[in-house]
Homo-oligomer: A and B are copies of this chain.
Amino acid sequence: MPVSLMNVAEVAGVSIATASRILAGVDYPVTDKTRQMVLKAAKELGYRPNLIARSLRLEQTFTIGIIVENILSPFIPPIIRGIQERLKQNNYFSITLDSNWDPAIETEAIEHLDMRQIDGIIFVESYLRSSEEVSALIDRPHLFVHRLFNSLGDNSIVPDDRYGARIAVKHLLELGHQRIAFINGPENWDAATNRLAGYQEELAAWGIALDPALVKQGDWQVQSGYAATQQLLAVAERPTAVFAANDLMALGVTYATQEAGLKVPEDIAVVGYDDRDFAGFVRPALTTVQMPCEKMGHVAAESLLSLIRGEIKAVEPTLVRGKLVVRQSCGANSGEWKFEAERASLTRRHKQTKPLPG
Using CB atoms and an 8 Å cutoff, list the residues of chain A in contact with chain B.
1, 48-53, 55-56, 61, 69-74, 76-78, 80-81, 84, 93-98, 101-102, 111-112, 114-117, 127, 129-133, 139, 146, 148-149, 151, 153, 186, 190, 219-223, 226, 248, 251-252, 255, 277-278, 281-283, 338-347, 349, 352, 354-358
Contacts and interface: CB of A to CB of B under 8 A. Distances in A.
A37 to B, nearest CB: 22
A52 B116 contact: yes
Q: How many identical chains are in the complex?
A: 2
A146 to B, nearest CB: 7
Given A49-B115, A115-B49, A127-B352, A357 B72 contact: no
Contact of A129 (B74, B344, B345, B358): B358
Contacts of A73: 344-346
Contact of A346 (B56, B101, B114): B101
**Top-5 shortest CB links A-B:** A130-B358, A72-B344, A222-B339, A278-B278, A222-B281
A299 to B, nearest CB: 18
A61 B74 CA distance: 30
Contacts of A338: 223
B116 A146 contact: no
B346 A251 contact: no
Given A93-B95, A219-B347, A102 B352 contact: yes
B339 A74 contact: no
Nearest to A63: B95
Nearest to A254: B283
Contact of A127 (B98, B282, B354): B354
A280 to B, nearest CB: 9
A49 B114 CA distance: 9
A104 to B, nearest CB: 11
Given A56-B56, A221-B347, A338-B223, A81 B77 contact: no
A71 B61 contact: no
A358 to B, nearest CB: 3
